[in-house]
Amino acid sequence: MLEYEVEEAQPGWVSAALSKHGSVTLSKTFHFNEEHKIADNADSVHELLDDVVEPDEYQFKFRLGVLEDQYYRIDSKILNTDNDVLFHCSVPIDLKTFKAYRDIAIFPKISRLIDDEVVIGGDAPNAIPTNEFQSLIQQFPGSTEMTHYVRSKIARIVGEYVDLKSDPEKQFEDYLNRRGKKQTIRNSSELLDYEQHKYIFIRDQIEFMLKHHQECSERQWQELMLDFILVLFPKYVHVVREVLVRDFYTNAGSSKRRKIDLALLDADGNLDIVEIKRPFDYCLVSNNSYRDNFTPRRELSGTVMQVEKYLFHLNKWGVEGEKRITAAQRKKGTLPINLAVRVTNPKAMIIAGRSNNLTEQQKFDFEIMKRQYANLIDILSYDDLLARLSRIIEKFSNARPAETAQSLA
């Protein structure tokens, strides 16, 4: 039931509206007609109220919802929605449940987005959980946010021509950041916990695989690693296998095909190469120094030369190469329909070998080697990958609220 009290300055306007139009709109949100009105002397009043109130020209009572199977059903005509709105009897209801700042009616906006009844709380199918609904209500913009928004819009235009004495856009951004922290703190622990456990799982799987790598061929090892590669390097969204590239330079006057086993595409279709080698212990740096320097082993230097040639031929092939590679991958049915391969300054990633068994001097020289090729090639050992995963896990652990971290510990 909704009870409405008329201001003394405008007595009788509700009765007049009901008599003249057969309906009345209250608070720009509720639309009642004569059948919704509850008379003070009606039997229903005795059921709804503990005591009987004498008729009062300033007070009106309207039937807002009817209880059906633990849900209050509100007629769509009352809230001007496409379908009825149902509230579970456990959901607390007040005026702010229905209207936001500056008399914004909430349920017509929700109803326009769905094809069925709006159900709040309870266990009914498609019901919006009570806590999520209350969070939604809290996120509707208030007077402070609207003021910041208007000032920032004005400043963006006026600021192109005159110097401003303050920065409303930054003030608006700071306000949103402060407001956002309050809204997201409820779910942040759950999200951080999920992310941390995801990377813990990947780290544990790679450590297990490293202990049994001798049981796998290089092809099998690559397939195992590809399960994790898109998670470890989230800029990439798709793996491309067996990319054929034209080599016009090895034999003068003719061309040959070179096959890139694995490539990665980012969200815009830009292609990079990835070489995944089996994790042999001694394939990165020589055991013996040359003039007090440790040099790359033949396997590593050969892989580097191999991918450098791939990059060279990709760049030389240009737009024609992009079209050929895209067409070939589409023919295989391995390329998403909305993605086309682009060769835009491609880079390469080499994942090979173990580095934890190196001496400090070998690690130092290995780092110099990696930085030498850093503009084109990213060289990672499997121990580098594990270290990266451990840092990511630590980052999520440190970002977790203190009480959650203690409970997990």
pLDDT digits (tens, 9 = 90+) for 58-105: 788 999 999 999 999 999 999 999 999 999 999 999 988 898 776 778
Name the residue range of residue 171's domain. 145-185
Query: Average pLDDT of 38-48?
Result: 54
In a domain, 150, yes or no: yes
pLDDT score of 44 more than 50: no
Q: How far apart are CA 288 and CA 29, in angstroms?
A: 83
Closest CA to 364 of 305, 293, 315: 293
Judge if 96 and 130 occupy the same domain. yes
Query: Average pLDDT of 158-166?
Result: 73
Query: Average pLDDT of 170-198?
Result: 70
Judge if 11 and 103 occupy the same domain. yes
Judge if 155 and 125 occupy the same domain. no
Query: Average pLDDT of 214-221?
Result: 79
Number of domains in the chain: 3
Of 185, 215, 243, the domain-final residue? 185
| Alpha-carbon 24 to chain mean position | 44
pLDDT score of 186 more than 60: no
pLDDT of residue 40: 62
pLDDT of residue 401: 54
pLDDT score of 269 more than 90: yes
pLDDT of residue 55: 46
Q: By the 8 A CB rule, do 304 and 296 touch?
A: yes
Instruction: Out of 5-9, 85-89, 217-221, 371-375, pick the least confident.
Output: 5-9
Judge if 156 and 282 occupy the same domain. no
Judge if 263 and 166 occupy the same domain. no
Q: By the 8 A CB rule, do 224 and 209 touch?
A: yes
Q: How far apart are CA 311 and CA 272, in angstroms?
A: 9
pLDDT of residue 104: 79
Residue 183: band (very low, low, confident or very high) from pLDDT cuts 50, 70, 90: very low
| Burial readout 141-152 (b: 16 or more C-beta within 10 A, e: otherwise) | eeeebeebeeeb
pLDDT score of 39 more than 90: no
Q: Six-digit token pair at 296?
A: 């790359």
Query: Average pLDDT of 259-285?
Result: 89
Per-position DSSP letters for 326-382, written without gaps between them: HHHHHHHT-S-TT---B-SS--EEEE-S--TTS-HHHHHHHHHHHHHTTTTEEEE-H
Q: By the 8 A CB rule, do 127 and 121 touch?
A: yes
pLDDT of residue 270: 94
Query: Average pLDDT of 222-236?
Result: 85
pLDDT of residue 175: 78
Query: Average pLDDT of 8-29?
Result: 84
Greater confidence (272 vs 166) lies with: 272
Q: Provide the β-strand partners of residue 66.
A: 73
pLDDT of residue 59: 84
Q: How far apart are CA 316 and CA 93, in angstroms?
A: 68
pLDDT of residue 140: 73
pLDDT of residue 42: 44
Judge if 337 and 260 occupy the same domain. yes
Output the CA angle 82-85-90, nearest 5 degrees: 170
Q: Give residue-wise pLDDT tens across range 230-242.
A: 888 889 989 988 8
pLDDT of residue 20: 87
Average pLDDT, the chain: 83
pLDDT of residue 180: 60
Measuring CA to CA, how many Å separate 78 from each of 23, 25, 207?
10, 9, 62
pLDDT score of 109 more than 90: no
Closest CA to 226 of 259, 195, 264, 270: 264
Judge if 124 and 154 occupy the same domain. no
Q: Provide the β-strand partners of residue 99.
A: 105
pLDDT of residue 211: 85
In a domain, 299, yes or no: yes
Of 157, 185, 213, the domain-final residue? 185
Judge if 170 and 121 occupy the same domain. no
Q: If 0-12 CB within 10 Å is exposed, 13-18 middle and 19+ buried, where does residue 177 land?
A: exposed
In a domain, 348, yes or no: yes
In a domain, 47, yes or no: yes
Residue 136: band (very low, low, confident or very high) from pLDDT cuts 50, 70, 90: confident
Whole-prediction pTM value?
0.53
Of 131, 164, 185, the domain-final residue? 185
Greater confidence (28 vs 50) lies with: 28
In a domain, 190, yes or no: no
Judge if 154 and 135 occupy the same domain. no
Q: By the 8 A CB rule, do 83 and 74 touch?
A: no
Judge if 176 and 84 occupy the same domain. no
In a domain, 277, yes or no: yes
Output the CA angle 80-85-91, nearest 5 degrees: 130
Judge if 158 and 130 occupy the same domain. no
pLDDT of residue 179: 67
Crossing angle of the two packed helices 218-232 and 382-399, in degrees rounded to 10: 30
Query: Average pLDDT of 346-352?
Result: 92
In a domain, 12, yes or no: yes
Judge if 292 and 342 occupy the same domain. yes
pLDDT score of 54 more than 80: no
In a domain, 374, yes or no: yes
Q: How far apart are CA 277 and CA 301, in angstroms?
A: 13
Q: If 0-12 CB within 10 Å is exposed, 13-18 middle and 19+ buried, where does residue 38 land?
A: middle
What is the number of other CB atoms lying within 10 angstroms of the CB of residue 266?
17
